[in-house]
Structure 1
Amino acid sequence: MSVVPVSKKQHPHDDAPDTAAAFARLAGLSDGPERQALRDELIESWLPMAQRIASRFRGRGENVEDLNQVAALGLVKAVDRYDPALGNAFESYAVPTVTGEIKRHFRDHMWVLHVPRRVQDLRNRVRAALKNLAQTIPGQRPTVTEIAECAHLSENEVRTGLEALDCFTALSLDAELPGSENGYDLADTLGEPDAGFDLVIDREAVKPALRTLPERDRTILYLRFFGGMTQLGIARQLGISQMHVSRLISGCCATLREEIASDAASATSGEGPARPARRGSDAA
């Protein structure tokens, strides 16, 4: 089975073969080995063009092999969807198809933080403006105003685009910070859960209930939980038995739990806190 040869012709790009006759033949073939062979030959003939387009996107965080693979995928789509009956040259259809496939790859797979399409477009325009300004004012970082004038954007849009530049890549948590000593890395700057916040919440929740206790009960609780005294030490200071101190502590804690639970239930139902009558301490 013979396949129509793909000829070459003079063209601004050396990687643009003359495949008009081959595409016309491909359109007239039904599915089968002959059509598959001609399709494969067309794809192979245009691969240099796809690789040339892929080379434009070097230095953006993706390796060359993956870029070429994505460009080849776009080329396959272009070959399968191209209709020579429309009268347009294949290259005019293939170039935007391959370019769009590469851009889609960057948009969908290369962003560490996914941002809206509008912000991605702003990032690309700001990036292009920075590249142009680097040639006109070498050695000097352009200002936001200069970038806005070059990219025909507002200054707020430029700031958004500049922030998006940092969303394309991310540092590892193990990355050592510039100027740090003794291996100080990014992970060392991250905070950890602080149990002290829960303690503050608990203290604020129990304050109103503590005010309802008699003075001696409050003193016992303070000496035990804030003064760090033992029950025996509290008993000696107040002139009562250790067993009595233990009963008072247990009773106070039970009272506080009941009042806090009652306040929580009242807050959930939308009612105000209902305080029980002040309870006196046990007789000495």
Structure 2
Amino acid sequence: MSTASIPTIPHRSTASSIGRVSSAERKARTAELLAKARECPPGERGDLLDEVIVLNIPVARTLAARYRNRGQSSDELEQVACLALTRAVQSFDPERGDDLLVFAVPSILGELKRHFRSAAWAVRPPRRIQEIRPRVVAAEEELGQQLGRPPTPQELADELDCSTAEVEEALACGELAHAASLDEPVAATGSPLGELLPTLEPGFEQSEAVAMLGPACRKLKPRDRRILRMRFYEQRTQQEIADELGVTQVQVSRLLQRIFTDLRRAVGAHAPGGRPRAA
């Protein structure tokens, strides 16, 4: 049976009737179906394995429920768990033991953990923190019930035998599981988050000009670079530059115009498509 022939996951109302089967009945029926599948022709084996999968879907859903409220929808988690169950049934060898779940449960839990490591983070924290966070969440709930108050990071660290810094980082990374929408209202003002963000960072519009002009300025003659430095970095007037160079203010104006033309040509030569940029 290929992955393409995965049986349709039953509706919850149907699954609830399946879920009322006791663990002993499910185990016995599963073993019976697997024994028949081992002995029947390949053409009939697929239907029997499909029945095994459907029979054990409530187990997969129970395992998926352990990971609720961690930034992923219940439906998506159940799909991951049921797919892992399907793969486990397809690869299970009854000759190595008659209890499918001994083999399938670790496979399902492993697939759920891999799903969170690979897909459940909008911003992915270090793998060590990804792995410790579920333990921190579980310990936080258990200790909270025992103490009657939220446990401190130090208490959680003592319970899990890890550092306080790791616990604090694991608690803080919970918000990384999903990205905040720019349309989400901010509690303090009620305005969408996007409206509170600056439209442009200071100096952003000048960043491209600096990147383009830097190489062009370095190719200027030393005298031209000196004139630019006096005019734009030292904020001197044209007359002050003229006095420094021993020329007239009109000559400084013409020198600046010629320098600007040289820079435009140098920048235009490196513009996309080789066409000069507009002045």
**Does TM, scored on the shorter chain, surpass 0.5?**
yes
Q: 2:115 maps to which residue?
A: 105
TM-fit CA distance, 1:164:
2.0
The equivalences for 1:194-209 within 5 A come to 194-195=202-203, 198=206, 208-209=226-227
Q: TM-score, normalised by structure 1?
A: 0.64
The equivalences for 1:108-147 within 5 A come to 108-138=118-148, 140-147=149-156
Alpha-carbon contact 1:126-1:161 (below 8 Å) kept: yes
* Counterparts in 2 of 1:78 and 1:249: CA distance versus 1, 3 Å: same
Can you give the 5+ residue segments of structure 2 that lack an aligned partner in the other structure? 1-20, 219-223, 242-247, 264-279
TM-fit CA distance, 1:256:
8.0
The alignment yields a C-alpha RMSD, in angstroms, of 3.9
Q: Which residue of the other structure, out of 174, 177, 189, is the alignment partner of 1:180? A: 189
Q: 2:254 maps to which residue?
A: 250
* Counterparts in 2 of 1:212 and 1:47: CA distance versus 1, 3 Å: closer
TM-fit CA distance, 1:190:
4.4
Alpha-carbon contact 1:111-1:168 (below 8 Å) kept: yes
Q: Which residue of the other structure, out of 25, 28, 35, is the alignment partner of 1:24? A: 35
* Aligned residue-pair number: 225
Can you give the 5+ residue segments of structure 1 that lack an aligned partner in the other structure? 1-9, 224-243, 260-284
Q: 1:228 maps to which residue?
A: none
The equivalences for 1:63-78 within 5 A come to 63-78=73-88
| Structure with the bigger percentage of helix | 2
* Counterparts in 2 of 1:187 and 1:19: CA distance versus 1, 3 Å: same
* Separation of aligned partners in 1, 2:198 and 2:127: 30
* Counterparts in 2 of 1:131 and 1:123: CA distance versus 1, 3 Å: same
* Counterparts in 2 of 1:192 and 1:210: CA distance versus 1, 3 Å: closer
* Counterparts in 2 of 1:189 and 1:255: CA distance versus 1, 3 Å: closer
Task: Report runs of 4+ in structure 1 exceeding 6 Å deviation.
Answer: 199-202, 256-259
Q: 1:231 maps to which residue?
A: none
2:167 maps to 1:158 = yes
- Greater CA deviation, 165-174 or 57-66? 57-66
Per-residue CA deviation, residues 162-193 of structure 1 (Å, 9 max, x unaligned), is: 23222112211222222125x25255234623
Q: Which residue of the other structure, out of 85, 89, 100, is the alignment partner of 1:79? A: 89
TM-fit CA distance, 1:58:
2.5
* Separation of aligned partners in 2, 1:211 and 1:43: 77
Identity over aligned pairs, percent: 30
The equivalences for 1:27-42 within 5 A come to 27-32=38-43, 34-42=44-52
Q: Secondary structure, in 3 states, of the residue corresponding to 1:254?
A: helix
The equivalences for 1:35-74 within 5 A come to 35-74=45-84
Alpha-carbon contact 1:210-1:256 (below 8 Å) kept: no
* Counterparts in 2 of 1:38 and 1:156: CA distance versus 1, 3 Å: same
2:200 maps to 1:192 = yes
TM-fit CA distance, 1:127:
1.6
* Separation of aligned partners in 2, 1:211 and 1:18: 87
